[in-house]
């Protein structure tokens, strides 16, 4: 069986490790702190700064993995090209990991190289450049660090007074050593979706049913599957997702995000790995959840089809305070509910708005999705994270 080195060991990595354990794979989980969620279920672990290329080289040499599976952005990804030359498979590919770890590379690939419809955008490396970029794209606009995740450092500029605050917040929320932001014109969208896209070695690209989601502070709060999308828009989104994932190469699951507007479908972002909004698939909405799909594609196990089995929704359980030993109350309120489940991620510390768990619910495909979303929202607030 294969040895997998997982770079980043959060809740998404934990579910990936569980999927890998079920079919006999060996996983070494890596993160910058001990007892990260995926470490709790892996065969072994390493604690390093993944932006330190020497440290990365050391653990690659030590473990000699068959696969390197990145879960986060803050990695010295340029080293991946060397690892591929050594015969190690980088998931989905060294090119995909490098391009998607930096919003600049993936946005330029989508907009300039592939001609996909995106929001008007500019880049800035200083507060002064940000001022100029905002003038060019107009207000309101959205500012994001080139390297960040889960909404960190993201804010909306509505007036000139917001510009300096937005720059400082973006720099604080940036991962890695890239101090640059992308400034996007605000897209007047009706909804936004994640299209989980599975690329395979020697088999066709597959798509999951679209996932809708709602965000606060740049981070998802609820997601649901299937999202209501017109046939025309879903075909356009699939075409765009196929083009960008084929350009990046390799095999694995990508979370491709789109805005749905009156003017059509806009490409937004892409993650070369399971997506946080895709945790709704843990509710049993599909024949394989997103983590099982990622693993099977990585291992070149053919996936015949992805079938939608149920309608479902997820809602996050958030911490409200800082804690070095978080505990949970109210779980019994969820456990007793029909067609409802939960996951506690096992993060060793908590801070305000940190995602500590998720509530899941499902029902028949005929059930209005709004009913399931409303149920899961009301259920998630029954759980309290205690400091």
Which residues are catalytic, by number? 149, 151, 257, 269, 276-277, 355
Distance CA 202, CA 378 (A): 44
Cα separation values, 96 from 250, 260, 312, 374, Å? 8, 25, 30, 36
Cα separation values, 251 from 73, 74, 90, 327, Å? 18, 21, 9, 38
In three-state secondary structure terms, 336 is: coil
For the chain, first and last CA: distance in Å?
41
| Residues contacting 112, CB < 8 A, separation 6+ | none
Contact 77/14 with Cβ under 8 angstroms? no
Distance CA 209, CA 206 (A): 10
Buried b (16+ CB within 10 A) or exposed e, 202-221: eeebbbbbbbbbeeeebbbb
Helices marked H in the chain — which ranges? 11-22, 53-63, 80-85, 94-100, 103-108, 127-137, 162-173, 231-248, 290-298, 331-335, 369-380
Contact 334/375 with Cβ under 8 angstroms? no
Distance CA 85, CA 4 (A): 17
- Which helix (H) or strand (E) segment holds residue 318: the answer is strand 311-318
Tell me which residue has tokens 């350009």: 247
Contact 270/243 with Cβ under 8 angstroms? no
- Which helix (H) or strand (E) segment holds residue 46: the answer is strand 44-47
Sign of CA dihedral 360, 364, 369, 370: negative
Contact 112/118 with Cβ under 8 angstroms? no
């Amino acid at each position: 069986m294969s040895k997998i080195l997982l770079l980043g060991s959060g809740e998404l990595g934990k579910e990936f490790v569980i999927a890998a354990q079920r079919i006999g794979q060996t996983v070494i989980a890596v993160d910058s702190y001990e007892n990260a969620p995926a470490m709790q279920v892996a065969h072994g672990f390493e604690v390093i700064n993944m932006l330190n290329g020497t440290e990365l080289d050391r653990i690659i040499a030590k473990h000699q993995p068959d696969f390197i599976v990145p879960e986060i952005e803050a990695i010295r990804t340029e080293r991946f090209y060397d690892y591929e030359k050594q015969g190690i498979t980088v998931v989905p590919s060294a090119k995909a990991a490098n391009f998607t770890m930096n919003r600049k590379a993936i946005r330029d690939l989508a907009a300039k190289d592939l001609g996909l419809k995106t929001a008007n955008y500019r880049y800035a490396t200083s507060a002064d450049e940000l001022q100029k970029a905002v003038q060019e794209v107009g207000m309101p606009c959205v500012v994001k660090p080139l390297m960040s995740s889960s909404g960190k450092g993201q804010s909306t500029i509505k007036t000139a007074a917001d510009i300096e605050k937005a720059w400082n917040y973006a720099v604080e929320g940036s991962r890695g050593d890239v101090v640059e932001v992308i400034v996007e014109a605000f897209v007047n969208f009706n909804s936004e979706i994640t299209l989980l896209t599975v690329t395979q070695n020697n088999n066709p690209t597959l798509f999951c049913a679209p996932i809708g989601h709602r965000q606060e502070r740049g981070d998802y709060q609820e997601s649901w599957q299937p999202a209501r999308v017109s046939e025309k828009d879903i075909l356009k989104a699939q075409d765009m997702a196929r083009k960008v994932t084929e350009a990046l190469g390799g095999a694995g699951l990508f979370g491709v995000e789109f805005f749905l507007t009156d003017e059509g479908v806009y490409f937004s972002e892409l993650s070369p790995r399971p997506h946080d909004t895709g945790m709704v698939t843990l509710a049993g909405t599909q024949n394989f959840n997103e983590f099982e799909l990622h693993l099977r594609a990585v291992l070149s196990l053919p996936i015949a089809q992805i079938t939608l089995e149920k309608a479902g929704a997820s809602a996050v359980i958030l911490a409200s305070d800082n804690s070095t030993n978080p505990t949970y109350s109210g779980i019994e309120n969820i456990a007793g509910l029909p067609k409802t489940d939960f996951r506690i991620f096992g993060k060793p510390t908590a801070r305000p708005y940190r995602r500590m768990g998720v509530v899941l619910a499902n029902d028949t495909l005929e059930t209005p999705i709004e009913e399931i979303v409303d149920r899961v929202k009301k259920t998630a607030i029954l759980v309290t994270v205690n400091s």
